[in-house]
Structure 1
Amino acid sequence: MLVVVEVPTLTEQADGAADTPYAVTVGADGARVAFLRAGALWVHTVATGAQRCVTPGPVRAYGVDGPARTAAFTVDGRLHRADLATGEVTEVDTPAPADDPHPDPTGTHIGYLDADTLRVVAPDGTDELLAGEAGVRWGRVDEASAQFGRTRGWWWAPGGGQILAVRAAGSVSLHLLDLYGGWVDVHWDRETYPYLVDVHWGDGGGPLITVLRRTQQHGLVLSIDPRTGETQVHAELADARWVEPVAGTPRHLPDGRVLVGGELAHDGFDARCLFADGSLLTPPGLYVRRVVGVLPRTGVPAAGPDLIVEGTDGEPAEQHVFAIRTAMVGGGADARRLTTEPGWHRAEVGGDVVVLASSSLAGPPTWTIRRGDAAVGILAAPAPASARQVPQPALARVTDRRLPAAVLYPPGHLSGNRLPVLVDLGLGPGHQQVVLDEAAWRDRRWWAAAGFAVVSVDSRGTPGVAPSFEKVVHRRLADVALADQVDALLALTGKNPDLELTRVAVRGTGLGGWLAALAVIRRHDMFRCAVARDPVTDFTRLPTALAERYLGRQADSPEVYAHHRLAEDPATDALLVLDRAADPARELDFIRHHTDRLER
């Protein structure tokens, strides 16, 4: 019999999270830390520990200069400049609503986007069009680049005199724009390498970019001469499935070497690593997720700076922050953990300051400011623990493929009481579900409180384990992902006998919605009903970059695309299709109806 308990709202589930800092930026000199909290812009002064609300908002995003003294942001399309040292805020007149504002590294000019044009405001308030043409998008992120994680479409030069900007007019090109007139085109073989994946322009040298072939199986890391726009190859990236660049790369190290993310897949190694001019910097047991920045080694000037990196060196449910030695002085690669407690840890860095965000299953993250080995401040006090019992998922690695899995029981569940099962696929392949981060479990705790044993499985195709684990789904995503979900469910019943496998529902969104629908259509013997929010029905309707990453080119293998297509009108009443914004109560009623009726 399905036990119905009082279900807290999703808003109640998120209590304590609204006041959590986010969008944290550390100034290049380590003097100030800017961040958003509940839509307001704040600044923390590291030397004194003082915190000030600069503007109550609503601020969705902001940009700062090099030392994080000057900030630029918009409120309802109106541009503002803020002095983060004094707290003074002034509105800046613009001819039209502004978007994506960023001060130059010196804090004198502010660049921003006006629709599809790029404009710059001078210190005297003069507002000038830097780039704009009819039917052309300047400075925007194109659809393909968004699939690779690139979130910017224009970048200041370190000295502030130039802007590197994307021009999208059918195809994507890149241009160096001089504030005082003229531009230079960046030259690479755009026909062969159409995808502009990563761009970085730091203090260590000229711009660096990563470009990929349309097949995504080969790429180049190129340096750009900012005077001529000519490019030079620094590294080649290749993979028979697809190249997966490491976030935060490429970039120049302080000694001039170029840092590139890559993979080791020979001699028993299976890892995402970092290389500097071809030399391995990271131990093969470390799965690198993101390069945060560079931190000087205090008291050891000859040793060179450390790289601050987010990655995993054990259980994929955890992410830690590491200091990676950049100087190769014997002993091989060296990675030192800066975080030790189990959880999901992130970082930002500037000067000699590291800000660590540490999450667990107990509550929202705490942001700790560290200088050297000492904690010198926090951005916000931890939220008080709820008096209500908070259920914790039981994590495991199951099947011979060691799939990360978790079972979340309802509050107060007593062993021996059989429960209906809800398999939560989230956003589906490519997105980890089994992580030690409270924010990832809010929806699932709501479903557990409704009386379900909520199961999450990171099937093959999910990042965080190893490159081979992630890429084995190439051209056979449906078969591999669905088989892993079924096998994991069967394996979990060994240590979780209260899972009632005759009453299994499945839900997901996007690609997760596609997999949920596929599960109830192709494996109705296991999955009795499914809810698909905004599901992908046909991979040809996805952005080309995303579809071809998993399935290759449709022209080469139309049968692969046909195998992954959902029927337009599947002949089953066990599938509910919703949009992303639909009321969760509709899901709950549908799933309860289908899982409960099997008992009667």
Structure 2
Amino acid sequence: MSETKHSVINRGIVNFPRKEARTLRFSLGAPRSARALGDGSRVVFLRSGGQEDPVTSMWMSSWNSQGKHCETLIADPRKLMQGAAIGEHLGHADDDVPDEEKARRERSRESAEGIVDYSVDDDGERAAFALGGNIWVADLSATVADESSSEGRHARCIHVVDPTDSSSLGAQDSPKLNPTISPDGSLIAYTTGRSLVVIRLSQNDVAESGDDIKSEELNAPIVAAVDLAESAGEDVRIGLAEFVAGEEMDRYAGFWWSPDSRQLLIEHYDASNEDVWYISDPANPDHPASRRRYPRALTNNAKVGLLLLDIWKPQLSRVAWDTAAYEYLASVHWVAGHDALILVQNRRQNGDQILQIPPFESSHDSATAEQSSSRYVLDNNEISDLHSILTHVAQTHSDDCWLDLTPGVPTWSPKGKLIDVRADETNDTNRLYSDGRAISPVGWQIRSVVDASDDSILAIASKDPRSFDVVRFSYDGNAEVLNDEPGLWTASQSGEGIVIAGRGMDTARSQMTQFFTVRDSVSHETSAKTAAIDNFAAECGFTPNVEFVTMGKHALRAAIVRPSEGSGYEHAEKLPVLVKPYGGPGHQQVVLAQSYYWASQWWADQGFIVLTADGRGTTGRGPAWDRAIMDDMAQVTLDDQIEAVQALPEFAPEADLDRVSIIGWSYGGFLSALAVLRAPEVFHAACAGAPPTDWTLYDTHYTERYLGLDEDTYRRNSIIDDAPKLRRPLMLIHGFADDNVSVANSLRLSEALLSAGRAHTVLPLNGITHMTNDEKVAENLLLLQRNFLKSSLSLR
């Protein structure tokens, strides 16, 4: 390697903390959230304008009539907000993001601004999205590529409002959340949290708005609304997902369209039985604390139910199931030609049911429906008194430990096969099932289902736990991997098209590629079109020096990162060790994606050998591996990190096991604090970020899955009582605005340490949530942790 390359690497390492923070971990400017449309020849995706631009726009990828690939700007939030008569926005496009939308973004770990989510109709002709609590619609059918170039032309976008004189009780002057267009593109449903509103778009509403971004407001009449009366209580919501659904189930929707666009399933929940928690701003004592409900482990959950709104009849009904036995609404799927499916779980999550909601016949008179509107005002008693629709049990499952949730299932194939994912414990594989018959091969761990056709099922699955592959499984058991290299991949499919996005170890930037199969209508011969979608994200300036190994008696998958050539530490005979795990259930750190090791490389070039190991409980290894942590989460996950450290010299003789530090965030923060408290002979210093130190302070759905309902189990797995054991340097880091892992966790451990006379360091982050998105905070956190660990280990 030349001296010039050494300089480039060193410059990349020096600039890494600030650059990583300013680019949101090198994500800005990268395409994301892709969805194939209609026949599959078009793909909608989101992307910001550059390496440090946080405002995300909507784009389309397609081919013009000359076969040139085009990337067409559909909607630029800055232009939309400047032109719209909805307030002046001279700064960020997200100045007016409603609190409810901020909460949803926190649950989904959404860091960007602008257009961060959208919905499209079945034909891919219209898209709906929210900006600043208002609704916008883009005419995708008019987004055609220019005949003479590959640039394309802008979509027609217009701001949609419902008339103020017919606003529903809870909708007037309230932010409009989660606008979702109906499958036929004629209606939009949205929620305010206290109202679920359906508005109508006429056939030409958007098309008549002009050839470019428009500032006019389109008055769309309300055709149906369900409002909560004030007497329903301040903690009752409609059309929104409750906290644990978004935080733990990856379910962010609170209402769902029927395939024929005539009906809506609508969630309502009452959180008044949950604990009341307050999040304060200590740096500004004149600011009032914000009040919220939190489903703390071993306490009450929100009461969740479903309504069925028939827009055409019109009629509002209540969907009935045994909510006392199955209190969690885990997923909802509605496929054309088949009953809606819901998956419900019991409190312990060791029993579930797939329930069918039978069809509700509606008299369809579109002419009448267009002239009238229906409105319902409900309190809790009125919800209970609604006509009940009884569900049918399609399948019931149980497990000695717990039942996992898999995104995308249960669902139907077009011809009515019930598709599900379950643990085949005999073969230690999470497998696809069709009408109760296992169809995916043993050894392929299914992570999510993308699409189910009558010929095959498209899924994200792993044979090597380090690779999330896009795999097409046929019903006869064949598996075809569609991504070209191992890595971290996702996909969207429609018609004859598919878009695959993700990253591997070979390139710094993520990749997004569109594939479309063209079929000649006469000869029926096929040809393929492929296009790579542009990525404008910054690069860190170095390639991580990673070695993947399998270590210890449990065959732990691990990654070892060594100093770069030219770093000054490349030939060191001894290097202190930095253990950098997540290490907890439901998440992996050792994957075949280069971006996972950029921060590790920065640490290595500060003079450490960096070790990351995925222990028992992490995903991708099968049911037995997942469930090994049952009731003993703390000790099992710690034992695996100890095992990895002790095995390290076999692969890295330069590792100095007399100077071992550990850092982590969230569960990784818990594991870091746990390590120096319970294994000080192995771990000599720790930085613990946002650690859940007392598991009774974390939410029900996550914690009770692993620790059950016995208070003694929680005491054994928490670390407050371990405080007197501390004899190693420990830094606790926590954001005061964290509504996921409350700052009370770090404060209670600090209090216990103080009571025991144990010195420690606390780094409070005012105004910071569970995501450290402030660039100054993110940058300085790395530097402060480095300095703390070097001082603690007596390093220069």
Give the TM-score, by structure 2 length.
0.69
| Secondary structure of the corresponding residue to residue 355 of structure 1 | strand
**Residue 132 (structure 2) aligned to one of 47, 70, 76:** 76
Give the Cα separation in 1 of the matches to 2:727 and 2:638.
Answer: 19
- 1:310 deviation in Å? 0.8
Alignment correspondent of 2:682: 526
Alignment correspondent of 2:418: 258
| Cα separation, partners in 2 of 1:403 and 1:427, compared to 1, 3 Å | closer
Deviating more after overlay: 164-173 vs 379-388: 379-388
- 1:451 deviation in Å? 2.6
Give the Cα separation in 1 of the matches to 2:732 and 2:648.
Answer: 28
Deviating more after overlay: 42-51 vs 485-494: 42-51
- 2:201 matched to 1:123? yes
Give the Cα separation in 2 of the matches to 1:440 and 1:28.
Answer: 34
Contact 2:341 2:357 in 1 (8 A): yes
**Residue 499 (structure 2) aligned to one of 352, 355, 359:** 355
| Cα separation, partners in 2 of 1:547 and 1:384, compared to 1, 3 Å | closer
Deviations 1:30-85 (A, max 9, x none): 24211100101111225653221111222121111112221111121121111112
Give the Cα separation in 2 of the matches to 1:194 and 1:285.
Answer: 33
Give the Cα separation in 1 of the matches to 2:63 and 2:423.
Answer: 37
Give the Cα separation in 2 of the matches to 1:425 and 1:387.
Answer: 21
Contact 1:428 1:509 in 2 (8 A): no
Alignment correspondent of 2:91: none
Matches for 1:218-297 after TM superposition, within 5 Å: 218-227=351-360, 229-266=389-426, 269-294=427-452
Alignment correspondent of 1:329: none
Alignment correspondent of 2:227: 132
Alignment correspondent of 2:380: none
| Cα separation, partners in 2 of 1:511 and 1:559, compared to 1, 3 Å | same
Deviating more after overlay: 400-409 vs 8-17: 8-17
**Residue 511 (structure 2) aligned to one of 351, 366, 374:** 366
Deviations 1:506-547 (A, max 9, x none): 111122211111111111111111111111021111111111
Alignment correspondent of 2:648: 492
Give the Cα separation in 2 of the matches to 1:381 and 1:515.
Answer: 39
| Secondary structure of the corresponding residue to residue 616 of structure 2 | coil
Give the Cα separation in 1 of the matches to 2:571 and 2:603.
Answer: 19
Residue identity in the other structure for 1:291: V
Give the Cα separation in 2 of the matches to 1:467 and 1:379.
Answer: 37
- 2:188 matched to 1:110? yes
Alignment correspondent of 1:141: 241
Alignment correspondent of 1:509: 665
Contact 1:142 1:168 in 2 (8 A): yes
Give the gaps of 5 or more residues in structure 1.
Answer: 296-303, 327-331
Alignment correspondent of 2:629: 473
| Secondary structure of the corresponding residue to residue 439 of structure 1 | helix
- 1:100 deviation in Å? 0.9
Give the TM-score, by structure 1 length.
0.91
- 2:67 matched to 1:67? no
Alignment correspondent of 2:482: 338
Give the Cα separation in 1 of the matches to 2:461 and 2:589.
Answer: 16
**Residue 41 (structure 1) aligned to one of 58, 61, 70:** 58
Alignment correspondent of 1:20: 30
| Secondary structure of the corresponding residue to residue 325 of structure 2 | coil
Aligned length: 576
- 1:320 deviation in Å? 1.1
Contact 2:41 2:516 in 1 (8 A): no
- 1:469 deviation in Å? 0.3
Give the Cα separation in 1 of the matches to 2:26 and 2:531.
Answer: 16
Deviating more after overlay: 422-431 vs 181-190: 422-431
Give the Cα separation in 2 of the matches to 1:498 and 1:410.
Answer: 12
| Cα separation, partners in 2 of 1:352 and 1:216, compared to 1, 3 Å | same
Residue identity in the other structure for 1:206: D
Give the Cα separation in 2 of the matches to 1:387 and 1:534.
Answer: 26
- 2:730 matched to 1:575? yes
Deviations 1:166-213 (A, max 9, x none): 110240011111224321211211100101111111224121111111
| Cα separation, partners in 2 of 1:131 and 1:447, compared to 1, 3 Å | farther
- 1:225 deviation in Å? 0.9
| Cα separation, partners in 2 of 1:271 and 1:378, compared to 1, 3 Å | same
- Structure with the greater alpha carbon radius of gyration: 2
Deviating more after overlay: 283-292 vs 389-398: 389-398
Residue identity in the other structure for 1:589: N
Alignment correspondent of 1:407: 560
Give the gaps of 5 or more residues in structure 2.
Answer: 1-9, 49-55, 78-113, 143-154, 163-171, 203-219, 271-301, 361-387, 518-525, 735-769
Deviating more after overlay: 540-549 vs 359-368: 359-368
Give the Cα separation in 2 of the matches to 1:114 and 1:416.
Answer: 60
Matches for 1:429-468 after TM superposition, within 5 Å: 429-468=585-624
- 1:106 deviation in Å? 0.7
- 2:702 matched to 1:546? yes
- 1:28 deviation in Å? 3.9
Alignment correspondent of 2:89: none
Residue identity in the other structure for 1:276: S
- 1:378 deviation in Å? 2.8
Give the Cα separation in 2 of the matches to 1:229 and 1:435.
Answer: 45
- 1:89 deviation in Å? 0.3
Matches for 1:120-199 after TM superposition, within 5 Å: 120-123=198-201, 125-127=220-222, 130-133=225-228, 134=230, 135=233, 136-146=236-246, 147-169=248-270, 170-180=302-312, 181-199=314-332
**Residue 424 (structure 1) aligned to one of 580, 586, 592:** 580
Residue identity in the other structure for 1:233: V
Give the Cα separation in 1 of the matches to 2:17 and 2:580.
Answer: 16
Give the Cα separation in 2 of the matches to 1:221 and 1:449.
Answer: 51
Deviations 1:306-334 (A, max 9, x none): 21111012x211121111113xxxxx422
| Secondary structure of the corresponding residue to residue 720 of structure 2 | coil
| Cα separation, partners in 2 of 1:74 and 1:513, compared to 1, 3 Å | same
Give the Cα separation in 1 of the matches to 2:432 and 2:543.
Answer: 39
Aligned residues: percent identity?
Answer: 28
Alignment correspondent of 2:789: 591
Contact 1:130 1:179 in 2 (8 A): no
Q: Which has the higher contact order (CA 8 A, sep 6+)?
A: 2
Residue identity in the other structure for 2:260: G
**Residue 217 (structure 1) aligned to one of 328, 334, 350:** 350
Residue identity in the other structure for 1:121: I
Alignment correspondent of 1:301: none
Residue identity in the other structure for 2:158: T
- 2:719 matched to 1:566? yes
Contact 2:676 2:728 in 1 (8 A): no
Contact 1:294 1:349 in 2 (8 A): no
| Cα separation, partners in 2 of 1:200 and 1:567, compared to 1, 3 Å | same
| Secondary structure of the corresponding residue to residue 786 of structure 2 | helix
- 1:340 deviation in Å? 3.8
Alignment correspondent of 1:99: 177
Between structures 1 and 2, the one with greater helix share: 2
Give the Cα separation in 1 of the matches to 2:605 and 2:349.
Answer: 43
Contact 1:363 1:385 in 2 (8 A): no
Matches for 1:296-311 after TM superposition, within 5 Å: 304-311=454-461
Deviations 1:324-354 (A, max 9, x none): 113xxxxx42211222422222211111211
Deviations 1:352-401 (A, max 9, x none): 21111141123122111123596523352356996944123211111121
Contact 1:46 1:377 in 2 (8 A): no
Deviating more after overlay: 443-452 vs 186-195: 443-452
